Amino acid sequence: MSAPAKPKPVVQPWAEPFWEAARRQELHLQHCEDCHRAIHYPRVACPHCASTNLGWRRASGRGTIYSFTVVEANAPSAFTADIPYVVAIIRLEEGVQMLSNIVGSDPADLMCDMPVEVVFEPLDEEFTLPKFRPIS
Neighbours of 125 (CB within 10 A): 7
Report in angstroms how near the CB of residue 55 gets to Zn ion at its nearest. 11
Q: Among residues 3, 49, 83, 112, which is the contact residue for Zn ion, using CB under 5 A?
A: 49
87 is a site residue for Zn ion (CB under 5 A): no
Separation CA 84–CA 68 (nearest Å): 13
Report in angstroms how near the CB of residue 90 gets to Zn ion at its nearest. 22
# residues near Zn ion by CB under 5 A? 7
Nearer residue to Zn ion within complex by CB, 48 or 57? 48
Closest-CA residue to 37 (of 110, 89, 90, 92) = 92
Separation CA 116–CA 119 (nearest Å): 10
Amino acid letter, residue 39: I
Nearer residue to Zn ion within complex by CB, 28 or 31? 31
Nearer residue to Zn ion within complex by CB, 24 or 36? 36
Q: What is the enclosing helix (H) or strand (E) of 120? A: strand 115-122
46 is a site residue for Zn ion (CB under 5 A): yes
Report in angstroms how near the CB of residue 29 gets to Zn ion at its nearest. 13
Q: What is the enclosing helix (H) or strand (E) of 43? A: none
Nearer residue to Zn ion within complex by CB, 24 or 48? 48
Return the residues of window 6-45 that contact Zn ion according to CB under 5 A.
32, 34-35
Separation CA 97–CA 36 (nearest Å): 16
Residues that bind Zn ion (CB under 5 A): 32, 34-35, 46, 48-49, 51
